[in-house]
Structure 1
């Protein structure tokens, strides 16, 4: 027989529940502060260890400028990837889906290949700026990927109900399709043009120009502003379509807004440094595990901070081992193992 709480025991149970809630809240804030401190320390160590010993010299100022841009690029990419992954998992209701798994990285490679194939032979064309490494190239590539990815996401997720297994299948099919087209056109390129495409296949923070960082920062800031305006509606979206509609949230409108924001964030970060397929999966699930909650006021900043720690700390460790360029390979390897673990242990939700 189930024991019914008496009038004397009920206040004690309520006090115990309130104490537990306050304890969980304090623990989440503590996790956020610790992640922020570690992220700042990792960035500071990355900058300071790369500076020459002669303070104030021309080499010192040059290194400081280069390393500062490097640190800013890490922060922008970590925020863009972390926030976009958490938001994408919110509207899909699944912890293993990320924009990259839906074929975004393959789409980026296809865009790069097609630009090099059709624009390089005609550099005098108006679209010639798209393949440049300057601001026009960044904005052009970002615009193309925003339009293509928004159309793809709205087609896949903008309907009524979509089976999660169907989404995974469609994402894999689109990824294979985009990569097949890219591979076909890459075989038709001359060696110099193919090297340009090959450079775009791997993420790199080196040599990011200041004007591109400013443009990317403005895009990320605007997207974060939209996320703040959405507020607690994002938490309601975690309940699912029917409960969200019952609570007064326009589920379809919020989904469309979130998908557009995700498209801008992922497009900007990918155009800035290149593809990082499983990076968002790592930081988002690490944030869920550390916090023990999916509330966005905690998961969004912690996922971003963990991204900074992973990128800056990874470069520090690999730099000490003399294999700095292997960071993207390590991220893909660890992320692939995590994806298989989540898939095989049925921890998608």
Structure 2
């Protein structure tokens, strides 16, 4: 228990540095462990996967922490607005309409852009109709997102029952996040979109802690609350859409890393929680991939392990919240 006492004596900056060192260690091990072929090829192959995991960790970590700050609820994730369900519906709809052979022949860049645009458009319609003008109801927007998610999953289930059984296995692989099936040339496009979104978030970063105090306090402190929340929600939609279109849905990763960041940092300021969530996401993905490749011999999918652990964390948070009432 000595390491727990030592961790408790560290300040948030030192804790963040420790997480950064662990993330760098995981990345170095992933790039160099058991290299048995040409180093240039291995580093290029593993480097692309490492970059994808870094982008996903960044997008999911930042979006989930900001979503918690807006909703003031730590058991919610941006997936509640139906992003994952819409992604599954798009994949199934394309396979149902054109067949998996034609889908696999689609231009990956156009497919990535189309899927990202569809998810962002869904979010924009939700925000525009339910969190602007005279409505401005965040809870109603979340509720409609849940209903749409149920509708999308029901339509997906219907098409899965009608689809050619020979195509089902190939289609099912796309229902889980995978860092091996992605098109590596899309990394630059995804990184560019995330960089532009991050630049805007950096410009409004000083309002994050104020918004986390609640609507009334934020307005009293001079923040244009509806406008700022709309801007942050749109950025969240872009981050989640890019991540999902790049590798697939990872529903519970954000829930897991965000709550671990709150627990390990002991400081709710966004200057600490945002980078901590990103670093923890990178540690979870890269460390999990290391264990999967070198410990389990690819006997399971990383996304399934993350979803299982994240789902257990969700249940723990839910039950703990019930006990504290």
TM-score by structure 1 length? 0.82
Contact 1:50 1:67 in 2 (8 A): no
Matched pairs, number: 314
Cα offset, 1:248, TM superposition: 0.7
Question: Take 1:34 and 1:300, find their aligned partners in 2: how far apart are those partners?
Answer: 15
Establish whether residue 40 from structure 1 lines up as the match of residue 24 from structure 2. yes
In structure 2, the gaps of 5 or more residues are 1-7
1:316 is matched with which residue: 279, 283, 290? 290
Task: Mark the runs of 5 or more structure 1 residues left unpaired by the alignment.
Answer: 1-23
SS class of match (1:276) = coil
Q: Mapping of 1:61-76 within 5 angstroms?
A: 61-76=40-55
Q: State the match for 2:271 in structure 1.
A: 297
Alpha carbons of 1:64 and 1:113: their partners in 2 closer, same or farther (altered >3 Å)?
same
Aligned equivalent of 1:260: 234
Change (3 A) 1:168 1:261: closer
Q: Is the 8 A contact 1:78 1:304 kept in 2?
A: yes
* SS across alignment from 1:42: helix
* Alpha-carbon displacement from aligned partner over 1:242-288 (angstroms, at most 9, x marks no partner): 11111110101111111110111001000111011100000000001
Q: Which string of whole-angstrom CA distances, capped at 9 and with x for unpartnered residues, describes residues 307-346 of structure 1? A: 0000011111122122354321111111111111212221
Bigger radius of gyration: 1
Deviations 1:123-152 (CA, angstroms, capped at 9, x unpaired): 6xxxx79x7362121111111111113323
Q: Which residue of 2 aligns with 1:272?
A: 246
- CA RMSD after TM alignment: 2.6
Q: What residue is the counterpart of 1:307 in the other structure?
A: 281
Matched, 1:98 2:77: yes
Post-superposition Cα deviations, 1:64-117, rounded to whole Å, max 9, x if no partner, equal: 211010000010000000001011111111111111233321121112222333
C-alpha separation in 2, matches of 1:96 and 1:270:
20
Q: For structure 1, which segment, 83-92 or 173-182, has the greater mean C-alpha deviation from structure 2 after superposition? A: 173-182
User: In the aligned structure 2, how far is the partner of 1:121 from the partner of 1:303?
Assistant: 36
Q: Which residue of 2 aligns with 1:204?
A: 178
Q: Shift in Å at residue 215 of structure 1?
A: 0.4
Question: How much has 1:175 moved relative to structure 2?
Answer: 2.7
Task: Provide the rounded CA distance (Å) in 2 between the counterparts of 1:341 and 1:169.
Answer: 23
SS at match of 2:321: coil
2:67 aligned residue = 88
1:51 matched residue in structure 2: 35
Is contact 1:203-1:275 (8 Å) kept?
yes
TM-score by length of structure 2 reads 0.88
Mapped partners of 1:328, 1:67: distance in 2: 18
1:1-349 aligned within 5 A: 27-52=11-36, 54=37, 57=38, 60-120=39-99, 132=106, 134-155=108-129, 159-163=135-139, 170-319=144-293, 320-323=295-298, 325-346=300-321
